[in-house]
Amino acid sequence: MCGFLALLSKEEPISPDVLAGATRILRHRGPDAQRYWLRSDGRVGLGHARLGIIDLHSGDQPLTNEDESLRVVVNGEFYDFQRIRRELEERGHRFRTGSDSEIVLHLYEEYGPQCLHHLRGEFALALWDERNRLLFVARDRFGIKPLFYARHGGNLYFASEAKALFAAGVPARWDLESVFQFHHLLNPLQDRTLFEGVHQIPPGHYALVTEGQFQLLKYWDFDYPPEKGHLIPQEAKSYAERFQVALEEAIRLRLHADVPVGIYLSGGLDSCAVLGLAQRMRSTPLHAFTLGFDRPEYDESAIAEEMAKRAGAHFTPIPVRQEDLADHFADAVWHGESFFINANSVAKFLLSRAVRNAGYKVVLTGEGSDEVLAGYPHFRRDMLLYDKRGQEPEAIQRILEDLQASNQVSRGTLLPDANTPANTSISQVLGFVPSFLASFSNIAVHGHALFSEEFAARFAGRDAYRLFLGGLDVRGQLAGRAPVNQSLYLWAKCGLPNYVLSQLGDRMEMAHSIEGRLPFLDHPLVELVRTCPIAQKIRGMTEKYVLREAARPVLTDTVYRRQKHPFMAPPSTLVPRSRLYELVQDTLRGPTFRTLPFYEPQKVLALLDRLPGMELPLRNAMDPLLMAALSACVLQERFGLHSPKA
């Protein structure tokens, strides 16, 4: 994993000092080397900060092809690259390095932008094609690796992080529309950021840029089959066997590195399955690292330790207290470049720091499993409410009550409470309201109550959910699909790239130069899972059924029988007088908060005063808003953000 920058100028030549300085600000993503290249006329520049994982001695970038007509910078990892390289060499291609990234150049020579269909892994890239005077930029299928862009002053900028765009000269301003949208989805839209004029290449997309044209094109999507499709029923054992084979291949490919590989281990099914299967492929113990919280209902370290012992892995707990979360909140937000909705991002920041201090650069993680196998409790609620075939109403109500009772951590955040308002704009388009959107709608009501009069008036009548759905291919990707698959698709366009893979993944890992590898988002595995019946994802009230059965031989009985427990840090509102709670109170009563252009300070002060007397579910619903407001203060200070142009 690395960081890169690509600049195109229509007018003035690019300054070498600007290019070098913007590349250096990405040093945390690539501490092993920072290099850049400028075209002879100064109109095209590529910068790269390298984290050496494969070919430690000759893989510095930008990389070039044989005649130097192509140059590329890559952030990410390509798996199975040795096979692709052999095939390319048989066709006459000559390689200069042993880097996995070099295959992009030669695949592009063969296929042009369609080379993306031959790439397997997590990546973002920028390739300059001199013959065609074309810049080709692309992002992996799921958005595991970030890729931002902006236009300013006749220049077009691409970078792995927004802070590199700011360092290159892009103004740092709030995007008020994205701030409004965030308070409804707890994420920006998949192609937007909180910064005015700074956009994202969406997951599964690429852009072709010439002097006169910018084309943004999709090359991959989930393509869930229609509910009345022609899936051939199979025995449950057959699904589990096929899934196990695909997952083992994904893990085996991700264990390849020229540096040691560790694993992030929780008490959840996903990372435990990865550890158990990965350890069977190794002759020496893997090293597992586990976060531990100081509140028992959020702490999974004992379950993880039992699993590590079962697998024969080394186990290292990383204890994190509320005080630690408070002390490192601002640094984590600077790296995350977005609002946090829970301090779990800060915990991942601290976990990555501890792993890097232990001498590791690469870890396997369990992220992505819940997003393709319907692991969260809100997916089970959707199945109960919207796929009622053969179910008695009384039984459904009883199971719904059990679901709420057994998922207290999710109540008010991922699971709607009893006071959730109806949302006709969603139900009119989809025919139902996915549970996570219902829950977010409830949080949005509380968020609106904190807006300043000017900000509320500016977006009066704006329907954030209609805008979200309007940016998706509803007819091609949602219509006619099972409700659970529709919910999975919507979560993949909202919470997956901008929260799970960013604030809990890449940004917190790369803050300390850690490469996270995600076997569950190996695209051949995902393409297998998308064709599985819903009953292979949720069987009764058992989530991720096919994974549970496929990995059963390597799991402890505790993990095999345990329900999903969302990875969340204890909310700031949970422990009054803790340092995190005091940080929220002090910051939101302070001078920086009063400079934010979207909140009304008196309304927030009233909320802070009411917190101690609130019931737990309501306090849980308030915590994402308080974390977002606290994050906004950090972003305002760290990036010197200005209000947008009038």
**Tens digit of pLDDT for each residue in 289-303?**
999 998 888 999 999
**Tens digit of pLDDT for each residue in 465-524?**
999 999 999 999 999 999 999 999 999 999 999 999 999 999 999 999 999 999 999 999
Give the C-alpha separation, 280 to 282, whole Å: 6
The two beta strands, 134-139 and 148-152, are unpaired
- Judge whether 307 lies within some domain: yes
The answer to whether the beta carbons of residues 45 and 39 sit under 8 Å apart is: yes
The answer to whether the beta carbons of residues 507 and 146 sit under 8 Å apart is: yes
The answer to whether the beta carbons of residues 62 and 46 sit under 8 Å apart is: yes
**Residue 434 belongs to domain spanning:** 373-445+456-492
Does 503 lie in the same domain as 437? no
- Judge whether 256 lies within some domain: yes
- Judge whether 514 lies within some domain: yes
**Tens digit of pLDDT for each residue in 617-633?**
788 778 999 999 999 99
**Tens digit of pLDDT for each residue in 130-177?**
999 999 999 999 999 999 999 998 899 999 999 999 999 999 999 999
Does 473 lie in the same domain as 330? no
CATH number for 168: 3.60.20.10
Q: What is the mean pLDDT of residues 179-191?
A: 93
Whether residue 494 lies in the annotated active site: no
How far apart are the two ends of the chain, measured CA to CA in Å?
A: 39
Give which of 5, 636, 641, 26 is closest to 333, Cα–Cα: 636
Per-residue confidence band for 563, with pLDDT thresholds at 50, 70 and 90: confident
Does 100 lie in the same domain as 46? yes
Does 201 lie in the same domain as 261? no
Give which of 420, 355, 346 is closest to 381, Cα–Cα: 420
Does 40 lie in the same domain as 103? yes
**Tokens 């890559």 -> residue:** 74
Per-residue confidence band for 592, with pLDDT thresholds at 50, 70 and 90: very high
**Tokens 């704009």 -> residue:** 425
Give the C-alpha separation, 451 to 275, whole Å: 45
Does 552 lie in the same domain as 531? yes
Q: What is the mean pLDDT of residues 329-340?
A: 98
Does 350 lie in the same domain as 245? yes
- Side chain identity at 319, as an amino acid letter? P
Domain total in the chain = 3
- Judge whether 328 lies within some domain: yes
Give the C-alpha separation, 98 to 76, whole Å: 15
The answer to whether the beta carbons of residues 436 and 491 sit under 8 Å apart is: yes
% of the chain exceeding 90 in pLDDT: 79
In the DSSP assignment, the letter for residue 303 is H
Domain stops at, among 543, 561, 579? 561
- Judge whether 586 lies within some domain: no
- Judge whether 8 lies within some domain: yes
Does 92 lie in the same domain as 19? yes
- Judge whether 636 lies within some domain: no
Residue 409 has pLDDT above 80, yes or no: no
**Tens digit of pLDDT for each residue in 234-256?**
676 799 999 999 999 999 999 99
Q: Please report the pLDDT score of residue 412 as a whole number.
A: 59
% of the chain exceeding 70 in pLDDT: 95
- Judge whether 571 lies within some domain: no
The answer to whether the beta carbons of residues 510 and 1 sit under 8 Å apart is: yes
- Reported for 258-261, long-range contacts at CB under 8 A and 24+ positions apart, including other chains, are 258/52, 258/53, 258/54, 258/55, 258/56, 259/52, 259/53, 259/56, 259/360, 259/361, 259/362, 260/287, 260/359, 260/360, 260/361, 260/362, 261/286, 261/360, 261/362, 261/363, 261/364, 261/517
Catalytic residue among 2, 115, 494, 532: 2
Q: Please report the pLDDT score of residue 154 as a whole number.
A: 87
Q: Residue 389: count other Cβ atoms within 10 Å of its Cβ.
A: 4
Q: Please report the pLDDT score of residue 405 as a whole number.
A: 67
Does 154 lie in the same domain as 63? yes
Per-residue confidence band for 643, with pLDDT thresholds at 50, 70 and 90: confident
Counting DSSP H helices and E strands in the chain, the numbers are 29, 19
Instruction: For residue 465, give the H/E element and its range.
Output: helix 464-470
Does 90 lie in the same domain as 166? yes
Does 483 lie in the same domain as 380? yes
Give the C-alpha separation, 326 to 586, whole Å: 12
Residue 389 has pLDDT above 80, yes or no: no
The answer to whether the beta carbons of residues 426 and 463 sit under 8 Å apart is: no
Domain stops at, among 524, 542, 561? 561
Query: What CA–CA distances, in Å, run from 18 to 7, 164, 355, 628?
Result: 10, 10, 33, 32
Beta strands in 143-253 (DSSP E): 148-152, 155-159, 199-200, 205-210, 213-218
Does 533 lie in the same domain as 484? no
